[in-house]
Chains A and B, each alone.
Chain A
Amino acid sequence: MSNLNNVWQSYRVIISFAVMGLVLLFVGLNQSWALVLGIINLSLISAIMALGVNIQWGYAGLFNVGIMGFAALGGVSVVLISQQPVTEAIEAGGLQMLIALALGVLTVATGVLLNKKGYNKWLIAAIVVIGYLITRYYFSDAARVIEKVDPAITGYLGGLGLPIMFSWIVGGLVAAGAAWSIGKITLGLRADYLAIATLGISEIILYVIKNEDWFVRGLKNVFGLPRPVPYEVDMQKSEWLQNTVAWIHRSDLELLAQSEQIAMLSDYVKGTSVVFVKLCYTGLFVFILVALIVLSNLALNAPWGRKVRAIRDNEVSAAAMGKNITRQHLQIFVIGSAIVGVAGALLVTYDGIFIPTSYQPLRFTFLIWVMVIVGGSGNNLGSVIGAFIMWFIWIQSGPMGLWAVEMLGNYIQEGNTSLEFIEDRVHYLRLIFMGSIMLLIMRFSPGGILPEKNKEL
C-alpha cells in the first residue's frame, strides 16, 4: 500500500494525465472521436481560463468571483472585431453614438481629474450629473435609431470585419482594462472587497450585454461568426481529403461494389471532415495553452516569481523589504483577467455564436473555481488536469443524472408525480453536486490533485 502511495507521490503529473487520457480514449472507442475532441477542446479552453484564475489565486491570493464577466468581455470582443460592419446602421446613428460615448468618457475623465486636483466634491458631482444627462440624451436617440435598422438581422453597429484571431488579443486587452479599473479601486483595501466588486461588475457587464441591443444585439444573439479554421462543407469537396480517406479505408472499400463504394466513401469523408476541423481547433488551443504555461512558469522561476511568492506567503515582511504589494497585486490581477478574457474569446470563436444567456455564474465562475481547486491551486499543470477532470464530470453529469432518474423510475410505477417532479428539476442538483465537490476538496485535500511544489510553509 505504502509502495503504491510512493509511486503516486513521485509521478502525480504523469499518472493523473495518463488516467485522464485513458478515460478519453475509452469514450472515443466506445462513442465517437468527434465527441471526444469536443470534450478536449472545451477542456482546453477551460484550462486556459483556469490558468488565469490560478495566476490570481495561486500566485497572489486574489479572489475573483467575476470570471463570468471577464469571459463575456472576451466574447463581446469576438463579435466587435470579426463581424462585418453594418453600414446602414453606422450611417443612421454611428456618429451620434460616437458623440454620446465621447461625452460619457469626457464626463468621467473630468470628474476624475477634478477630484485629483481637490476641487469641491459637490461641484464635481454637479458636473458629472449634468454630463450624464447630456450623454444620456444623445445616447438614447442614437441607440433607438441603430436598433431600428433591420432588427431581425442586424439592428446593431456590427464589428470591424477584421480576422477573428485578432479578437483573441483584443479580448485579453478589454478584460485587462476592466480588471485594471476594478483592481485600482478595490486592491489595497480589504481582501473580500475585490470578491464583492468582481461579483458586481460581472453581473453588470452581463446586464449591459443583454439590454443594449445596439451593442452586440442583446438577447437576439449573434450568429455565423467567421472561423479561423476551414468549414466542413468545403473540406468535403477538397480532392486531397477524399484521396486520403480513400487511402486510409482502402481495404474496406475494395470489398464493396462500385455504387456502395461511393456512398461509403462520402460517409467516411463527412466523419473525417468533422474530426479534422475539431483537430484544427485542438491544435490552436494546445498551442495557446502551452505558450501561456511556458511563459508563466518562466516568469515564476525568474526574480519576478520569487517576489510574487514572497508577497503571497508573507505580505508584512515583503512590504518591509520595500515591495509595493498593491501594485504587484494589481499587475497579477490584470494579467490573470486578461488570460480569462482570451479564453472567453476562444470559447465564442469555437462556438461560432454569441449567446448572452449562456453566461451563467455556475458554468463560468464557479466551475472554473472548482477546476482550480481540484487541480491544485498555485500549480499551472494542476489547473489543466483540474479543467479536464471537471469538464468531463460536468459534461457527463447531465446524462448521468437522467440515467439515475430512469433507474429510479424502474422502481416507481408509471405516471407517479414525484418522478416527473425529479425529472423536471434534476439539473439543479448540479449546483449541489459542484458545491459539495469544492467544499470536500477544500476541506480534506486543500492542495488538490497536483499540489504546488515550491510552497514555502
Chain B
Amino acid sequence: MVSESVDIVNAFALLTNFVILPAIAYGSQLALGALAVTLVYSVLRFSNFAQGDSMAFGTMLVILLSGYMIGRGWTITGIPTALIVIPVAIIGMAVYLLTMDRLIYRHYRKIKAKSITIVMSSIGVMFITGGIVRFVLGASAQRFEDGERFIFSVREFKAFTGLEQGIALKTSQFLTITIAVLLVAFLFYFLQKTKTGKAMRAFSDNKELALLSGINPDRVVQITWLLVAGLTTIAGALYGLDKGFAPQQYHLLLLPIFASVIVGGIGSPIGAIAGAFLIAFSEALLTYAYKKFLIYLLPLSMHPSSLVQLIGTEYKYAISFVILVIVLLIKPTGLFKGKVIVDE
C-alpha cells in the first residue's frame, strides 16, 4: 500500500517537473507578450503583428548588452547578466518603438485610416524588425544565460525528499514567474490607480470624450509605447533565458500570443493573462508523453507500450490555432468579454 501512494507522488512529481512548471513559465512569458498586444490594441486600436519580432528585437538588445558586460567581466555571481541589463535594453526598445510610431503609425492615426491599414503597416514593421535582428545576430539559435542554472536541481530534490522522480526549478523559470507577477501587479496598479493610467483607460474607452476632458493624446500614446517596450523586452528576455533565442521561434510566437488575446477577450488585460495560461497549459498537456506517468499509476498489466502522446510536439503551434478557432466558433468575444473597436 505504501509503495502505491509513493507511486502517486512520484507520478505527480514527474508531471510537475515536465508539464506544470514549464507551462507556468511559458504562460507567464506569453501573458507579458499578450498584455503588450492588448495595450496597443486598446489605445492605438490595431492588432500589432510586429509583436513577436519586437520581442526578438528586445532580446537582441539584451544579448548584445550582456555579451558586452560579460566580456568586460562586469558580472554578479549567481545572477544572470541578462537580468541586470534589462533596464537599459528597455530604453533602447522604447526608442525603437517610439521612432516607428513617429515614422509610421502616427500618420495613419492622423488620417484616421481603417484599422486594417494600420495592421498592414505593422506587418511592414514586422519584416523590418525581423530583418534587423537576423542581420545583427544571424538566424541560428543561441543561448545567452550565465550564472546558476538551477534554484534546486533534480538531484538535490531527490536527495531531499527520497522520491524516485525529482523536480527541478530552473533559475529562468523562477525569474520568469517572479518578474511576471511583479510586473502584472505594477501594470494593474498603474492602470487602476495612477492618473496617467486612468487617462489611458479613458482614452481607450472613448477617445472623443477623453479628448474633450483635456487628455493629451500624444502623451497617452507615448506612455503606451513605453509600457509596451517594457513588457516586450522583459517577455522576450525571459523567453530567451528559458528556451534559448532563435528569431524564427520569436516570429512564430505571434500565433500563441494572438490566440491568448482573442481567447481571453481582445482588449481585456485579465483575459489576456487567462488566455495565455490556457494556451500554455493546453500545449504542455497535449504534447507531453504520458507513458512514464501512467506506468506509475496503472497496474503492471495495463502499462502502455506507446508514448501516449496526444499530439506530436511539432504541431504545438497548431494547438493555439485550434483553440482560437473553437473560441471564435463558440464565443467570439472571448472568455472575458472584450471590446470591439469599430472604424471611425
Contact = CB atoms under 8 A, between A and B. Distances in A.
Interface residues of B, number: 49
A189 B329 CA distance: 10
A185 B314 CA distance: 25
B312 A430 contact: no
Contacts of B138: 424-425
Contact of B312 (A185, A211, A362, A433): A211
Contacts of A430: 131
Interface in A390-438: 424-425, 428-436, 438
A442 B124 contact: yes
Given A185-B329, A193-B262, A193-B328, A435 B124 contact: yes
B298 interface: no
A190 B139 CA distance: 34
A436 to B, nearest CB: 6
Contacts of B269: none
- Most A CB contacts (10 A, CB to CB) among B134, B138, B340 go to B134
Interface string B290-329: 0000000000000000000010101101101100110011
A192 B125 contact: no
A207 B325 contact: no
Contacts of B315: 204, 207, 211
Nearest to A191: B116
B127 A197 contact: no
A428 B134 contact: yes
B135 A432 contact: yes
A74 to B, nearest CB: 21
A334 B264 CA distance: 29
B258 A196 contact: yes
Interface in A307-327: none
B115 interface: yes
Contacts of B16: none
Contacts of A201: 321
Interface in B227-265: 252, 254-255, 258-259, 262
A167 B320 CA distance: 32
Contacts of A65: 49, 123
B131 A203 contact: no
Contact of B47 (A196, A211, A362, A435): A196
B116 A196 contact: no
B132 A432 contact: yes
A203 B252 contact: yes
B113 to A, nearest CB: 9
Nearest to B119: A192
Contacts of B262: 193, 196
A197 B324 CA distance: 8
A191 B115 contact: yes
B324 A432 contact: no
A285 interface: no
A451 B35 CA distance: 39
Interface in A115-133: 121
Contacts of A163: none
Contacts of A196: 47, 255, 258, 262, 324
Contact of B325 (A185, A369, A439, A442): A185
Contact of A442 (B49, B120, B127, B132): B120
Interface string B44-76: 001101000000000000000000000000000
Nearest to B252: A203
Given A189-B328, A207-B314, A439 B134 contact: no
B124 A195 contact: no
A61 interface: yes
A366 interface: yes
B318 A204 contact: yes
Interface in A189-240: 189-193, 195-197, 199-201, 203-204, 207, 211
Given A65-B123, A191-B114, 6 more contacts: A61-B114, A200-B259, A207-B317, A425-B135, A435-B126, A443-B107
Top 6 A-B pairs, shortest CB-CB distance: A431-B131, A435-B127, A432-B131, A435-B128, A428-B134, A200-B321
